[in-house]
Structure 1
Amino acid sequence: MEKKNDKLKTYAVKVFEGESMYAAVNGTVNEWEGKPTGYVLNLKLASEEVEKLKKLATELIENAKKDTEFKSASGTKVSASQWLPTEFMVNKLIKEKDGVQFINCKAKHEREKDGVINRVFIPIYDKDNHRLAPEEEQNLQLAYDAKIAVNLYMRVVFTNLYQGVSIRLKDIQLLDDDCLFKGGNGGSPFEPVKDADVDEDVPI
Protein backbone atom coordinates (compact mmCIF):
# COMPACT_ATOMS: atom_id res chain seq x y z
CA MET A 1 0.00 0.00 0.00
CA GLU A 2 1.31 3.45 -0.91
CA LYS A 3 1.87 5.94 1.85
CA LYS A 4 0.23 9.32 1.56
CA ASN A 5 3.58 11.08 1.63
CA ASP A 6 5.08 8.94 -1.13
CA LYS A 7 5.72 10.95 -4.28
CA LEU A 8 3.94 9.37 -7.22
CA LYS A 9 6.27 9.11 -10.21
CA THR A 10 4.87 10.85 -13.30
CA TYR A 11 8.00 10.63 -15.45
CA ALA A 12 10.48 7.92 -16.46
CA VAL A 13 13.56 7.36 -18.61
CA LYS A 14 13.30 4.09 -20.55
CA VAL A 15 15.02 2.29 -23.44
CA PHE A 16 13.01 0.91 -26.36
CA GLU A 17 14.21 -0.94 -29.46
CA GLY A 18 12.82 -0.58 -32.96
CA GLU A 19 13.47 0.59 -36.52
CA SER A 20 13.69 4.14 -37.81
CA MET A 21 10.98 5.11 -40.28
CA TYR A 22 11.39 8.86 -40.62
CA ALA A 23 14.46 10.40 -39.02
CA ALA A 24 15.66 14.00 -38.83
CA VAL A 25 18.30 13.87 -36.10
CA ASN A 26 21.63 15.74 -35.74
CA GLY A 27 22.68 15.88 -39.41
CA THR A 28 19.15 16.88 -40.44
CA VAL A 29 16.57 19.07 -38.73
CA ASN A 30 12.88 18.50 -39.39
CA GLU A 31 11.10 21.32 -41.20
CA TRP A 32 7.46 22.24 -41.56
CA GLU A 33 6.39 24.90 -44.05
CA GLY A 34 10.01 25.95 -44.46
CA LYS A 35 10.72 26.43 -40.76
CA PRO A 36 12.93 24.20 -38.57
CA THR A 37 10.94 22.39 -35.89
CA GLY A 38 13.65 20.36 -34.16
CA TYR A 39 14.66 16.72 -34.22
CA VAL A 40 12.06 14.08 -35.05
CA LEU A 41 12.22 10.30 -35.09
CA ASN A 42 9.37 7.99 -36.04
CA LEU A 43 10.25 4.64 -34.45
CA LYS A 44 8.62 1.40 -35.59
CA LEU A 45 7.94 -0.85 -32.61
CA ALA A 46 7.41 -4.59 -32.35
CA SER A 47 4.23 -5.62 -30.53
CA GLU A 48 6.10 -6.45 -27.30
CA GLU A 49 7.71 -3.00 -27.27
CA VAL A 50 4.30 -1.40 -27.86
CA GLU A 51 2.92 -3.24 -24.85
CA LYS A 52 5.92 -2.24 -22.72
CA LEU A 53 5.40 1.40 -23.65
CA LYS A 54 1.65 1.25 -22.99
CA LYS A 55 2.21 -0.33 -19.59
CA LEU A 56 4.66 2.38 -18.55
CA ALA A 57 2.49 5.21 -19.91
CA THR A 58 -0.55 3.80 -18.09
CA GLU A 59 1.36 3.68 -14.81
CA LEU A 60 2.60 7.27 -15.18
CA ILE A 61 -0.84 8.63 -16.06
CA GLU A 62 -2.55 6.76 -13.23
CA ASN A 63 0.04 8.17 -10.84
CA ALA A 64 -0.66 11.70 -12.11
CA LYS A 65 -4.37 11.20 -11.59
CA LYS A 66 -3.80 10.06 -7.99
CA ASP A 67 -1.42 12.93 -7.25
CA THR A 68 -3.49 15.74 -5.75
CA GLU A 69 -0.49 18.05 -6.17
CA PHE A 70 -0.06 17.41 -9.90
CA LYS A 71 0.00 20.69 -11.82
CA SER A 72 -0.64 21.68 -15.41
CA ALA A 73 1.98 23.38 -17.58
CA SER A 74 0.49 26.73 -16.52
CA GLY A 75 1.03 25.92 -12.83
CA THR A 76 -2.54 25.21 -11.76
CA LYS A 77 -3.53 22.04 -9.92
CA VAL A 78 -5.40 19.44 -12.00
CA SER A 79 -8.54 17.96 -10.49
CA ALA A 80 -9.64 14.36 -11.07
CA SER A 81 -12.63 15.47 -13.16
CA GLN A 82 -10.39 17.23 -15.71
CA TRP A 83 -8.58 14.10 -16.89
CA LEU A 84 -9.44 12.19 -20.07
CA PRO A 85 -9.71 8.39 -19.81
CA THR A 86 -6.30 6.76 -19.31
CA GLU A 87 -6.72 4.23 -22.12
CA PHE A 88 -7.55 7.02 -24.59
CA MET A 89 -4.42 8.99 -23.63
CA VAL A 90 -2.20 5.89 -23.85
CA ASN A 91 -3.56 4.82 -27.23
CA LYS A 92 -2.86 8.29 -28.64
CA LEU A 93 0.86 7.61 -28.22
CA ILE A 94 0.78 4.76 -30.75
CA LYS A 95 0.57 5.99 -34.32
CA GLU A 96 -0.24 3.73 -37.28
CA LYS A 97 0.30 3.95 -41.03
CA ASP A 98 -0.33 1.13 -43.50
CA GLY A 99 -0.62 -1.31 -40.61
CA VAL A 100 2.72 -0.30 -39.08
CA GLN A 101 2.76 0.88 -35.47
CA PHE A 102 5.22 3.58 -34.45
CA ILE A 103 5.83 6.35 -31.95
CA ASN A 104 6.85 9.92 -32.61
CA CYS A 105 9.88 11.10 -30.60
CA LYS A 106 11.06 14.72 -30.56
CA ALA A 107 13.89 16.83 -29.20
CA LYS A 108 15.02 20.42 -29.52
CA HIS A 109 17.88 21.16 -31.92
CA GLU A 110 18.77 24.46 -30.24
CA ARG A 111 18.91 25.79 -26.70
CA GLU A 112 19.35 29.32 -25.39
CA LYS A 113 21.86 30.08 -22.64
CA ASP A 114 22.80 33.56 -21.47
CA GLY A 115 21.07 35.07 -24.49
CA VAL A 116 23.02 32.91 -26.95
CA ILE A 117 21.34 30.22 -29.06
CA ASN A 118 23.48 27.09 -29.44
CA ARG A 119 22.97 24.00 -31.58
CA VAL A 120 22.60 20.80 -29.57
CA PHE A 121 23.04 17.19 -30.69
CA ILE A 122 21.58 13.88 -29.60
CA PRO A 123 24.28 11.55 -28.17
CA ILE A 124 24.82 8.58 -30.52
CA TYR A 125 26.41 5.24 -29.53
CA ASP A 126 27.51 2.30 -31.68
CA LYS A 127 26.43 -1.31 -31.11
CA ASP A 128 29.34 -1.77 -28.70
CA ASN A 129 28.06 1.18 -26.68
CA HIS A 130 30.93 3.48 -27.67
CA ARG A 131 29.92 7.05 -28.35
CA LEU A 132 30.55 8.21 -31.91
CA ALA A 133 33.23 10.78 -32.63
CA PRO A 134 31.84 14.36 -32.57
CA GLU A 135 31.99 14.80 -36.34
CA GLU A 136 30.19 11.49 -36.98
CA GLU A 137 27.62 12.22 -34.28
CA GLN A 138 26.85 15.75 -35.42
CA ASN A 139 26.50 14.75 -39.08
CA LEU A 140 24.53 11.56 -38.43
CA GLN A 141 21.61 10.78 -40.71
CA LEU A 142 19.78 7.55 -39.93
CA ALA A 143 18.80 5.17 -42.69
CA TYR A 144 15.22 4.05 -43.15
CA ASP A 145 14.71 0.72 -41.33
CA ALA A 146 17.88 1.18 -39.25
CA LYS A 147 17.74 -1.04 -36.17
CA ILE A 148 18.24 1.19 -33.15
CA ALA A 149 17.63 1.53 -29.44
CA VAL A 150 16.38 4.84 -28.09
CA ASN A 151 16.57 6.25 -24.59
CA LEU A 152 13.36 8.19 -24.03
CA TYR A 153 12.24 10.68 -21.41
CA MET A 154 8.52 10.16 -20.85
CA ARG A 155 6.54 12.63 -18.77
CA VAL A 156 2.87 13.21 -18.03
CA VAL A 157 1.76 16.68 -19.11
CA PHE A 158 -1.46 18.67 -18.96
CA THR A 159 -2.01 21.76 -21.11
CA ASN A 160 -4.98 23.52 -22.69
CA LEU A 161 -4.29 21.59 -25.90
CA TYR A 162 -2.98 18.25 -24.68
CA GLN A 163 -3.05 15.84 -21.78
CA GLY A 164 -1.12 12.61 -21.76
CA VAL A 165 2.52 11.55 -22.04
CA SER A 166 5.19 13.59 -23.80
CA ILE A 167 7.98 11.54 -25.43
CA ARG A 168 11.39 13.18 -25.77
CA LEU A 169 14.47 11.67 -27.40
CA LYS A 170 17.59 11.56 -25.20
CA ASP A 171 20.06 9.11 -26.77
CA ILE A 172 20.31 6.66 -29.68
CA GLN A 173 22.26 3.42 -30.03
CA LEU A 174 22.96 1.92 -33.48
CA LEU A 175 22.28 -1.81 -33.22
CA ASP A 176 23.83 -2.94 -36.51
CA ASP A 177 26.40 -1.85 -39.08
CA ASP A 178 23.82 -0.69 -41.61
CA CYS A 179 22.26 2.21 -39.74
CA LEU A 180 23.66 5.21 -41.54
CA PHE A 181 21.88 7.25 -44.17
CA LYS A 182 22.38 6.11 -47.74
CA GLY A 183 20.38 8.82 -49.51
CA GLY A 184 16.75 9.89 -49.88
CA ASN A 185 15.57 8.40 -46.57
CA GLY A 186 15.74 4.98 -48.23
CA GLY A 187 12.11 4.72 -49.35
CA SER A 188 10.53 5.90 -46.12
CA PRO A 189 6.72 6.10 -46.46
CA PHE A 190 6.60 9.08 -44.10
CA GLU A 191 6.61 12.80 -44.75
CA PRO A 192 8.25 15.37 -42.45
CA VAL A 193 6.29 15.63 -39.23
CA LYS A 194 3.98 18.59 -38.82
CA ASP A 195 5.13 20.70 -35.86
CA ALA A 196 1.65 21.76 -34.82
CA ASP A 197 1.26 18.65 -32.69
CA VAL A 198 -0.97 18.52 -29.66
CA ASP A 199 1.95 18.84 -27.25
CA GLU A 200 3.75 21.68 -29.04
CA ASP A 201 3.53 24.01 -26.07
CA VAL A 202 4.84 21.50 -23.56
CA PRO A 203 8.12 22.67 -21.99
CA ILE A 204 11.04 20.27 -22.24
Structure 2
Amino acid sequence: MKLYGEIFSAIILILSSAALCCKIKEDPEKIFVKSLRRYANTTQQPDATVERLKKTWESGEQLRDWCRMDEKYIIECINGPCYANVIPIQEVIWAHKTVTQVNAVIKTNTSLILHYANHKGGTISISETAVDYILQQFMEKHREIVVGYNREVEKLYLKGDMAGLKEYARQQRTGTPAD
Protein backbone atom coordinates (compact mmCIF):
# COMPACT_ATOMS: atom_id res chain seq x y z
CA MET A 1 0.00 0.00 0.00
CA LYS A 2 2.90 2.33 0.79
CA LEU A 3 4.23 1.77 -2.74
CA TYR A 4 0.99 3.09 -4.26
CA GLY A 5 1.25 6.25 -2.16
CA GLU A 6 4.83 6.82 -3.32
CA ILE A 7 3.87 6.24 -6.97
CA PHE A 8 0.93 8.63 -6.61
CA SER A 9 3.18 11.27 -5.03
CA ALA A 10 5.76 10.87 -7.81
CA ILE A 11 3.09 11.27 -10.49
CA ILE A 12 1.72 14.42 -8.80
CA LEU A 13 5.25 15.83 -8.55
CA ILE A 14 5.92 15.16 -12.25
CA LEU A 15 2.59 16.66 -13.36
CA SER A 16 3.00 19.78 -11.24
CA SER A 17 6.59 20.23 -12.49
CA ALA A 18 5.39 19.91 -16.08
CA ALA A 19 2.62 22.45 -15.46
CA LEU A 20 5.10 24.86 -13.87
CA CYS A 21 7.50 24.51 -16.82
CA CYS A 22 4.65 25.21 -19.27
CA LYS A 23 3.62 28.27 -17.26
CA ILE A 24 7.19 29.59 -17.18
CA LYS A 25 7.55 29.09 -20.93
CA GLU A 26 4.23 30.83 -21.68
CA ASP A 27 4.72 34.00 -23.68
CA PRO A 28 4.45 37.10 -21.44
CA GLU A 29 2.67 38.94 -24.27
CA LYS A 30 -0.06 36.27 -24.34
CA ILE A 31 -0.44 36.47 -20.56
CA PHE A 32 -0.72 40.25 -20.79
CA VAL A 33 -3.41 40.07 -23.52
CA LYS A 34 -5.29 37.42 -21.49
CA SER A 35 -5.37 39.75 -18.51
CA LEU A 36 -6.61 42.62 -20.72
CA ARG A 37 -9.32 40.31 -22.05
CA ARG A 38 -10.24 39.26 -18.50
CA TYR A 39 -10.99 42.92 -17.71
CA ALA A 40 -12.71 43.51 -21.08
CA ASN A 41 -15.06 40.58 -20.48
CA THR A 42 -16.59 42.56 -17.61
CA THR A 43 -17.66 45.32 -20.03
CA GLN A 44 -20.58 45.47 -22.46
CA GLN A 45 -18.35 45.41 -25.56
CA PRO A 46 -15.44 43.07 -24.76
CA ASP A 47 -13.82 42.99 -28.22
CA ALA A 48 -13.90 46.76 -28.65
CA THR A 49 -12.60 47.20 -25.11
CA VAL A 50 -9.65 44.86 -25.71
CA GLU A 51 -8.72 46.82 -28.83
CA ARG A 52 -9.01 50.09 -26.91
CA LEU A 53 -6.82 48.72 -24.11
CA LYS A 54 -4.19 47.54 -26.62
CA LYS A 55 -4.21 51.02 -28.17
CA THR A 56 -3.76 52.58 -24.73
CA TRP A 57 -0.82 50.28 -24.03
CA GLU A 58 0.83 50.95 -27.40
CA SER A 59 0.28 54.69 -27.72
CA GLY A 60 -0.77 55.95 -24.29
CA GLU A 61 1.40 58.31 -22.31
CA GLN A 62 4.21 56.35 -20.72
CA LEU A 63 4.44 57.09 -17.00
CA ARG A 64 6.99 54.32 -16.47
CA ASP A 65 8.11 51.38 -18.62
CA TRP A 66 5.31 49.37 -17.06
CA CYS A 67 2.58 52.01 -16.71
CA ARG A 68 0.62 53.82 -19.46
CA MET A 69 -2.25 56.30 -19.36
CA ASP A 70 -4.67 57.95 -21.76
CA GLU A 71 -8.03 59.73 -21.35
CA LYS A 72 -9.92 56.51 -20.61
CA TYR A 73 -7.57 54.07 -18.90
CA ILE A 74 -4.49 53.63 -16.78
CA ILE A 75 -2.79 50.28 -17.39
CA GLU A 76 -0.07 48.99 -15.09
CA CYS A 77 1.93 45.81 -15.65
CA ILE A 78 2.39 43.87 -12.45
CA ASN A 79 4.60 40.85 -11.76
CA GLY A 80 6.98 41.66 -14.60
CA PRO A 81 5.63 42.04 -18.11
CA CYS A 82 2.68 39.74 -17.53
CA TYR A 83 -0.50 40.80 -15.78
CA ALA A 84 -2.37 44.03 -16.50
CA ASN A 85 -3.95 46.11 -13.77
CA VAL A 86 -6.59 48.12 -15.67
CA ILE A 87 -8.01 51.29 -14.12
CA PRO A 88 -11.05 52.64 -16.03
CA ILE A 89 -10.85 56.38 -15.40
CA GLN A 90 -14.56 56.87 -16.18
CA GLU A 91 -15.43 54.81 -13.07
CA VAL A 92 -13.15 56.73 -10.68
CA ILE A 93 -14.95 59.13 -8.37
CA TRP A 94 -12.16 59.83 -5.84
CA ALA A 95 -8.38 59.60 -6.14
CA HIS A 96 -5.63 60.34 -3.66
CA LYS A 97 -2.02 59.55 -2.87
CA THR A 98 -0.55 57.57 0.00
CA VAL A 99 3.09 57.59 0.99
CA THR A 100 4.49 54.90 3.26
CA GLN A 101 7.42 56.05 5.35
CA VAL A 102 9.83 54.59 7.86
CA ASN A 103 10.70 56.80 10.84
CA ALA A 104 8.80 59.67 9.16
CA VAL A 105 11.88 60.32 7.00
CA ILE A 106 12.53 57.51 4.53
CA LYS A 107 9.84 57.01 1.87
CA THR A 108 9.37 53.35 1.06
CA ASN A 109 6.36 53.40 -1.25
CA THR A 110 4.03 55.81 -3.02
CA SER A 111 0.66 54.64 -4.28
CA LEU A 112 -2.25 56.12 -6.16
CA ILE A 113 -5.49 55.04 -4.52
CA LEU A 114 -8.61 55.11 -6.70
CA HIS A 115 -12.18 54.68 -5.47
CA TYR A 116 -15.19 53.74 -7.62
CA ALA A 117 -18.89 54.41 -6.97
CA ASN A 118 -19.47 50.70 -6.24
CA HIS A 119 -17.08 50.96 -3.25
CA LYS A 120 -14.40 49.01 -5.06
CA GLY A 121 -11.21 50.54 -6.31
CA GLY A 122 -7.70 50.19 -7.54
CA THR A 123 -4.17 50.93 -6.48
CA ILE A 124 -1.06 51.68 -8.47
CA SER A 125 2.37 51.70 -6.83
CA ILE A 126 4.45 54.17 -8.79
CA SER A 127 6.82 57.06 -8.19
CA GLU A 128 5.54 60.06 -6.26
CA THR A 129 6.19 62.29 -9.29
CA ALA A 130 4.00 60.05 -11.49
CA VAL A 131 1.24 59.95 -8.87
CA ASP A 132 1.29 63.75 -8.62
CA TYR A 133 1.16 63.97 -12.42
CA ILE A 134 -1.86 61.64 -12.64
CA LEU A 135 -3.68 63.60 -9.93
CA GLN A 136 -2.94 66.83 -11.80
CA GLN A 137 -4.35 65.28 -15.01
CA PHE A 138 -7.49 64.31 -13.09
CA MET A 139 -7.84 67.90 -11.83
CA GLU A 140 -7.48 69.32 -15.34
CA LYS A 141 -9.27 66.79 -17.54
CA HIS A 142 -11.67 64.82 -15.32
CA ARG A 143 -13.61 67.45 -13.44
CA GLU A 144 -15.99 65.00 -11.77
CA ILE A 145 -13.22 63.20 -9.84
CA VAL A 146 -12.48 64.35 -6.31
CA VAL A 147 -8.70 64.66 -5.92
CA GLY A 148 -6.95 64.44 -2.56
CA TYR A 149 -7.74 62.97 0.82
CA ASN A 150 -9.59 64.48 3.74
CA ARG A 151 -12.12 63.23 6.33
CA GLU A 152 -15.06 65.07 4.74
CA VAL A 153 -14.54 63.30 1.41
CA GLU A 154 -14.07 59.96 3.16
CA LYS A 155 -17.37 60.41 5.02
CA LEU A 156 -19.22 61.31 1.81
CA TYR A 157 -17.73 58.27 0.08
CA LEU A 158 -18.53 55.85 2.90
CA LYS A 159 -22.13 57.11 3.03
CA GLY A 160 -22.41 56.58 -0.72
CA ASP A 161 -23.26 60.26 -1.27
CA MET A 162 -22.33 60.55 -4.96
CA ALA A 163 -24.15 63.89 -5.32
CA GLY A 164 -22.13 65.24 -2.40
CA LEU A 165 -18.90 64.00 -3.96
CA LYS A 166 -19.78 65.63 -7.31
CA GLU A 167 -20.53 68.88 -5.50
CA TYR A 168 -17.25 68.61 -3.62
CA ALA A 169 -15.39 68.07 -6.92
CA ARG A 170 -17.14 71.13 -8.41
CA GLN A 171 -16.18 73.23 -5.39
CA GLN A 172 -12.63 71.91 -5.57
CA ARG A 173 -12.29 73.12 -9.16
CA THR A 174 -14.01 76.47 -8.77
CA GLY A 175 -12.92 77.26 -5.21
CA THR A 176 -16.50 78.18 -4.26
CA PRO A 177 -18.19 77.15 -1.00
CA ALA A 178 -21.36 75.05 -0.93
CA ASP A 179 -24.65 76.85 -1.55
TM-score (norm 2): 0.20
Higher relative CO (Cα under 8 Å, sequence separation at least 6) belongs to 1
Q: For the pair shown, which has the larger CA radius of gyration, 1 or 2?
A: 2
TM-score (norm 1): 0.19
